[in-house]
Amino acid sequence: MSMPLTGGAGTSRTPSPRLARLRRRLTPYVFVAPTLAGLALFLVYPLVSAVYFSFTRFNLIQAPEWVGLDNWRFLFEDDNVVRAAKNTLWLVVVMVPARMLGALLTALLLNQVRRARGVYRTLFYLPALAPPVAATLAFVLLLKPGTGPVNTALSALGVDDPPLWFNDPAWAKPSLVVLAMWGIGDLMMIFIAALLDVPAELHEAAALDGAGSWQRFRYVTLPSISPVLAFAAITGIIGTLQYFTQAAVAASVASGQVTGGGGISDTFGYPEGSTFTYPLWLYVVGFRYHVLGYANVLAVVLFVVSMTATVLLLRRFKEFTR
């Protein structure tokens, strides 16, 4: 007769229902724990620290000294913030839509190409691989007044007074937009993938209903790729709000005084402050003047503006896709 397997030292015990439910609830958190730890260490902690230091006088040498709202009050008295914010807002309003429109049109055209499609895609994508510093240096030399090949070609075509490009306050920011348009290959590839993912059945059904090319694009293609458009707009705005390298290099090289080993040029914003962006002023405050308390104020404001723009864009795109 077999003995029942209950009791005894070698008997395995079934966990209680309460312990089993607890394990099921904790299992997902165990898997996401590394990600949560990384976010806490590299995002939450620096953000909370920035908010704290924005209420202090801090220069990395002496211990932070609590000054209350003094740094925040100075924010509304700082003329450089107004000038830098205007330049950055101009770039956001002009550069982001220009890049999106240029990349979308290029993607639509390349999708119509039947022969050597991969070759054309590669050629249009290659500029996006150029390092920002090298690309900016090349553009400043190409658009150099008097001796640059672009102005030389314009003069040969009969243009008597070609633009001064990076040396003219009226043309400096448009020149940065031209530079950004040259490197739309990364955004173009994203749009190509989104366009290829639009179901062909939707276009066929719209064509059978009598929709023309524009109507199919407006009512079929755009709603289908709206999440990708939202992604491009949000990342474009955030990236432009942090626009630093190209503006710094273009100003330094165009002025003839390249940034030295100290990393901070006296010509940031050349010419006449037209390329002086918000991140440049933040950088100067923190690393030239070592007023890190006020620099943290600028950083917190930049974070709040970026998050606000992201939320507003997401709401607009949800209304568009309804």
Residues 302 and 112 sit within 8 Å (Cβ to Cβ): no
pLDDT for 3 equals: 47
Q: Categorize the per-residue pLDDT at 89 as very low, low, confident or very high, splitting at 50, 70 and 90.
A: very high
- Reply yes or no on whether the pLDDT at 92 is more than 80: yes
Q: How far apart are CA 230 and CA 253, in angstroms?
A: 35
The pairing of beta strand 65-66 with beta strand 56-57: antiparallel
Residues 6+ apart with CB under 8 A from 182: 127, 135, 139
Angle at 32 between CA 30 and CA 38, to 5 degrees: 120
Per-residue pLDDT averaged across 195-224, rounded? Answer: 90
pLDDT for 265 equals: 62
- 51 token code pair: 């908010």
Whole-number percent of the chain with pLDDT over 90: 69
Burial of 118 (0-12, 13-18, 19+ CB in 10 A): exposed
Q: Work out the mean pLDDT of the chain and round it to a whole number.
A: 89
Using N-to-C axis directions, what is the helix angle for 278-287 and 292-320, rounded to 10°?
Answer: 160
Per-residue pLDDT averaged across 222-234, rounded? Answer: 92
The answer to pTM > 0.75 is yes
pLDDT for 1 equals: 46
pLDDT for 315 equals: 85
pLDDT for 208 equals: 87
Burial of 62 (0-12, 13-18, 19+ CB in 10 A): exposed
pLDDT for 141 equals: 92
Residues 303 and 51 sit within 8 Å (Cβ to Cβ): no
Predicted confidence (pLDDT) per residue in 116-145, tens digit: 888 999 999 999 999 999 999 999 999 999
Per-residue pLDDT averaged across 32-56, rounded? Answer: 94
